[in-house]
Amino acid sequence: MAAAPDALRPPPGNPRFPLLDAMRAVAALAIVVTHASGVTNFNVDNPLGAYTARLNFGVCIFFLLSGFLLYRPFVTARREGRPPIGIRAFVRRRVLRIVPAYWVALTVLAIYPGLIGFGDHWLRFYTFTQIYWGESVVQGIGPAWTLCIEATFYAILPFLAAGIARLRPSVGGELAILGAIAVATIAFRFAIQEWTPEFTGWRTLHNTLLSYMDWFAYGMMLAVVSVATHGREARFGALRLVVRRPWVPWAIAAVVFWFVSTQLDLSRGFLVTYTQANFFGEHVGYALCAALLLAPAIFGDWAGGWPRRLLATRAMAWLGLVSYGIFLWHSTIMLELNEHEAQLWIPFSGFLSLLLPTLAITIPIAALSYYLVERPALRFKDPRRPRSRPRPDDPAGSAAPAAPQPVER
């Protein structure tokens, strides 16, 4: 088997979940589709818009992926008695993963075609802080507001993991702690929605980690279960179903997605006015959909089944490899194409007329971003130890290499 690319290689001593690469592609493409359908009013004008409007749940997939992949090495180290994950190593890997590609995209797109608010708020954009002011939340690279939430999660995760480790919880206890975090997040969302006026400074908290920590917590819960059952998933009832019939969680996800899309009376436009009921229903429904889609890629990824065969295709794996670039570049490219009346290029479908050129331009640029920026930077995410000099009395003439130490992805 070929070695994993630098962007996807797990920390030493931790298993890789190759099918999750394709789930990154699913998340990124879902976001591109929902943005194209919104810009062209397909969300509002077409019956299928009820579904394309809700494909912004790709953000939820990204957040659950981060919770799972980043927390799992902390859990593994603790459960197996390994040295704890080093904060410096964790921070180095996270910075190299997201900052170089983002800064390059931000700089290039600010030069051409230009980014809204860049002249006034450039420092916020470069420091991932634009979400803390209402006027700049979706300025710059618009979708990057979710990247700011990711960066906040990265900043707190080592400390949260250390705090949980000090409690030395059982598997059930750890799930209860993470469940409590999720409940607290939902309670916070309820309070902000209920007791603060719209379009005020308090409402900007909806765009921060405080309102999305539960999505990361669900991914962290999957990590705890994955470590506890690794190699023996088929012994547990619910997991046995996922292992043997991976289409079942996907079918349930489809039903949940249908319910959220059609039964909650959600707005299809970019500006959504919520009630408490559909605000809660969309948020929790997205999390359930994402968890069900991820389950076959996490539990029994070796067991086959058509969902896994789809995720294992080379095309999906490669799109997952370059998905970060797709996420960073697509929105500005799409808006620029729309300014040049791309909706009219293909007759009878303004949606496809905008979507297809956006993908045709964005995917090659995303590939360049990966091969020229992301991959070179990620080669430095694991420290390279100098070779040991041979001892004079060593008959073999060389020293044995040191065992690799786990570092955070």
CB 132 within 8 A of CB 145: no
Which one-letter amino acid corresponds to residue 67? G
d(CA 406, CA 396): 28
What are the tens digits of pLDDT across the range 295-324?
999 999 889 899 999 999 999 999 999 999
Cα–Cα nearest to 274, from 283, 287, 147, 362: 283
d(CA 232, CA 134): 48
What are the tens digits of pLDDT across the range 9-66?
666 667 889 999 999 999 999 999 999 999 999 999 999 999 999 999 999 999 999 9
| CB atoms inside a 10 Å sphere around CB 128 | 21
Residue 401 reports pLDDT greater than 70: no
Higher model confidence: residue 292 or residue 2? 292
352 within a domain of the structure (yes/no): yes
What are the tens digits of pLDDT across the range 244-277?
999 999 999 999 999 999 999 999 987 777 888 9
Spatial neighbors of 282 by CB under 8 A, at least 6 apart, are 54, 260, 264, 266, 274
d(CA 361, CA 376): 22
| Per-residue pLDDT, 358 | 98
167 within a domain of the structure (yes/no): yes
112 within a domain of the structure (yes/no): no
Q: Is residue 105 classed as helix, strand or coil in its secondary structure?
A: helix
387 within a domain of the structure (yes/no): no
67 within a domain of the structure (yes/no): yes
Spatial neighbors of 85 by CB under 8 A, at least 6 apart, are 11, 73, 74, 77, 158, 161, 406, 407, 408
* Greatest alpha-carbon span in the chain: 80
Q: How many CA atoms lie within 13 A of 390 on its CB side?
A: 7
- Radius of gyration in angstroms for the set of CA atoms belonging to the chain, rounded to a whole number: 22
Note down the domain range covering 355: 21-106+154-378
CB 24 within 8 A of CB 65: yes
407 within a domain of the structure (yes/no): no
CB 32 within 8 A of CB 319: no
CB 95 within 8 A of CB 87: no
Domain tally, the chain: 1
| Per-residue pLDDT, 403 | 32
Chain-centroid distance, C-alpha 34: 16
pTM strictly above 0.85: yes
Instruction: Please provide the average confidence, as pLDDT, over all residues in the chain.
Output: 90
Q: Output phi, psi for 170, to 5 deg.
A: -70, 175
Tell me the average pLDDT across 348-376.
96
Q: Name the pLDDT band for 394 (thresholds 50, 70, 90).
A: very low
Q: Name the pLDDT band for 399 (thresholds 50, 70, 90).
A: very low
404 within a domain of the structure (yes/no): no
Cα–Cα nearest to 280, from 260, 262, 294: 260
147 within a domain of the structure (yes/no): no
DSSP for 332-350, please give it.
HHHHHHHHTTGGGSSTT-H
